[in-house]
A = this chain, B = another copy of it.
Amino acid sequence: MKSCVPPGFRFHPTDEELVGYYLRKKVASQKIDLDVIRDVDLYRIEPWDLQEHCKIGYEEQSDWYFFSYKDRKYPTGTRTNRATLTGFWKATGRDKAVRDSEQGGGLIGMRKTLVFYTGRAPSGRKTDWIMHEYRLETDENAAPQASRP
């Protein structure tokens, strides 16, 4: 796509902007100012093919942004299927909280980091492809955490 912002502007969103503006609007089916984040079916596309789908303007990019539905491994289960034809995305590290800096730092989402492996789990070969998966989450509707006062 050709972006419609004046020359010199680059899309370098913060986690807060991705969650608090783009993802929130997308989930609510609200209009987004500029269609800069593409829809993708992540389970039918290999990481190296994302570049072509998610180009912004004519810039060289090292990050690509997209929306994708989460696929369930089994229709009745909650486990997530993150396999593509040639490999799979595997979570790594701990999820990171995304906070709203303007609203007193309230929790608005979480960021999960995943690495792409070629082959099939539990084996497979690690690659250099990294994905950050953002989800909405607010203090009110967050899953209750086991804690003692």
Q: Is the CB of B13 within 8 A of A12?
A: no
Copies per complex of this chain: 2
With CB as the reference atom, state the residue of chain B lying closest to A33: B6
The A interface is mostly helix, strand or loop, or mixed, namely: loop
Within the complex, the shortest CB–CB distance from A140 to chain B, in Å, comes to: 23
Within the complex, the shortest CB–CB distance from A43 to chain B, in Å, comes to: 26
- Show the binding face of A for B, using Cβ within 8 Å: 5-14, 17-18, 21-22, 32-34, 36
Q: Apart from A6-B36, A10-B12, list 18 A-B contacts with CB within 8 A.
A: A5-B5, A5-B6, A5-B9, A6-B33, A6-B34, A7-B17, A7-B22, A7-B33, A8-B12, A8-B13, A8-B18, A8-B22, A8-B36, A9-B9, A9-B11, A9-B12, A10-B10, A12-B12
